[in-house]
Each structure stands twice: as structure tokens, then as C-alpha cells.
Homo-oligomer: A and B are copies of this chain.
């Protein structure tokens, strides 16, 4: 059997890294030649989790077709979020929890998407379906992914299935999820050493909505006012990205992980779509979205509808 690389999206978050590592482990246990790799730098939050559970980060790759013919995608499916040479290889499996778009194959494949909060929740089922037990440290990493994607179970993306999986993984990992989880989120929300350009690229995802090119970046913080003090510099940097990438809209989401509200800064020719999408009025290109923490569930569908 030829080798398969397993990876999540660009700008990897904790779920993408944890899912690649844990699914590669599962595939190896059932006899596949699989290796987890990553498409970008490890975040502080993910580094905290990897360090805590003593797991090495996957190898960084820029392209994959020079070394394998087939790949497995976790935690994403959209071509523009994947490796740059994705069209040169065959996608044999996808394990994901996002909408499906810009994805096409010429052959049948295994595609497992569920509308849950975290890819690791689906992987927890797959371990059971294959009757493979989850090692303690991998359980800890999968638990970290659920904490990360659900903001410690506070995001509206969090489902009963995520909570159930987290409880099972917590028991295997032998940690207290509330104590460990908040420490991990705080490690990730430390933006003190980040430049303005870092902030815009840490967790940025491109989308095509109607015929518009949209980029949505998000950061978590425990103190939004620190970031908003740099608003002028942030806006200058966003406008540079819009020009360089010919974007119609850039939305920068600053999420307060303690209050679970977000402040967005939106620029671009179709910035008014933010007003339509969220029933707000941008003031100085900025609006507060009460109770909004999830890009996937509370931002992307609303903006997609507004731009349809």
C-alpha cells in the first residue's frame, strides 16, 4: 500500500493538528502507511497542548505531490484552504465538520462529515468503529481540540456529541478539562508578541461567497481593548492585504473568550454586507457582535447569504 499523508487546513489550529496526528495513529493501527503533516506554523495554543501531552508537532510541508500520490484531509475540504498542489494528488478520505465547497473528486472516496463542533469528536467515533483504543496522550490532544473549537463548550457550534466525546477523552487523558482547558485557551490568547500582520494571518481563511473573494481572520483574546488600541495600524494592514490579494471583503474578528462577544473590523468594497448579515451598523469600520464566537456557524453562513 502506498504512503498517505494526512493533514488539516493552512493556518493550522489545534483541531487540525490534533486530528492529523490522531487519525494518522488510527490508520497506522489498522495497517496503513500514514503520516501526519502540517501546512503552517503551530499556534501558541497548539504548542501548549503538544507540550503538555508530550507529542511532537507533525512535519511541515509546502507541497505533497512530490512524495505521495494520495492524501487524507482532516478538518477542511475547500481547495483554497488546503495544500497548494492538492489537485495533483488523489484525496482518498475526508474527515471534517465544515460545509462542503470547492471540493471535487473523479473517484468515489470515504467522506465523513458530521455537523459537530470538532473533527476530534468524529475521530473519537472512528476509533470505536475500528475497535482501536486511544492512547492517553492522543486522548489529551483530541480533548484539547474540542476545548479549542468549542471555547470550553461555550461556542454555539458545540453539540451534545462534543460534550460526550470530551467527557470520554477527559477520563482517558486524566486531566480536569476546565482547569487544563482554560490554561490552554489563555496560552493561545496571549497576543503580546504578535505584530499587526501576525494578527491578520494567525487564523485567516479565504472564502468564495457568490462571486466575491472574502477573507475572514479571527483571534481570541482576554482583553480586546489592547487590540482595538491598534485599530489604525490594523486597518492599514487590512487594506494592504485587500489590495495585494484582490479581495472584496476582509473581516477581522476579535473574540473575547471571557465574555464570548466579538468585535469585527470590516473593510473592502462590499463591507456593507456585514451590516446586512448581522443587523448592525459599522462605525469607523467596526461593530460589536454580541454572543458571536464562531466563524463557521455565526459568521460564514450569514455573510454567504448576504453576498448571495
Interface residues of A (CB under 8 A from B): 97-115, 129, 296-297, 300-301, 304-305
Contacts and interface: CB of A to CB of B under 8 A. Distances in A.
Contact of A108 (B98, B104, B108): B98
Contact of A296 (B100, B108, B301): B108
Contacts of A97: 108
Contacts of A114: 108, 110
Contacts of A305: 106
A105 B111 contact: no
Contact of A109 (B100, B102, B109): B100
Contact of A110 (B103, B108, B109, B115): B115
Contacts of A297: 107-108
A99 B296 CA distance: 25
Given A110-B114, A111-B112, A112-B111, A101 B104 contact: yes
Contacts of A300: 106
A101 B105 contact: yes
9 contacts: A97-B108, A100-B103, A100-B104, A101-B104, A106-B304, A108-B114, A109-B115, A112-B112, A129-B129
For the complex of A and B, 4 pairs with smallest distance between CB atoms = A111-B113, A108-B115, A101-B104, A106-B304
A205 to B, nearest CB: 14
A144 B98 CA distance: 34
A101 B296 CA distance: 22
A306 to B, nearest CB: 11
Contacts of A304: 106
Contact of A113 (B108, B129, B296, B301): B108
A23 to B, nearest CB: 16
A212 to B, nearest CB: 14
A101 to B, nearest CB: 4
B99 A108 contact: yes
B99 A105 contact: yes
A279 B113 CA distance: 37
A301 B108 CA distance: 10
Contacts of A110: 113-115
A106 to B, nearest CB: 5
A162 B221 CA distance: 50
Contacts of A115: 107-110
A106 B214 CA distance: 14
Contacts of A100: 100, 103-105, 109, 111
Nearest to A117: B108
A125 B105 CA distance: 24
Contacts of A98: 108
A303 B107 CA distance: 12
Nearest to A157: B108
A240 B13 CA distance: 54
A295 to B, nearest CB: 12
A104 B209 CA distance: 11
Given A106-B305, A108-B297, A110-B115, 20 more contacts: A99-B105, A99-B106, A100-B103, A100-B105, A100-B109, A101-B104, A101-B105, A102-B104, A103-B103, A107-B297, A107-B301, A108-B113, A108-B114, A108-B115, A109-B115, A110-B113, A111-B111, A111-B113, A112-B113, A129-B129
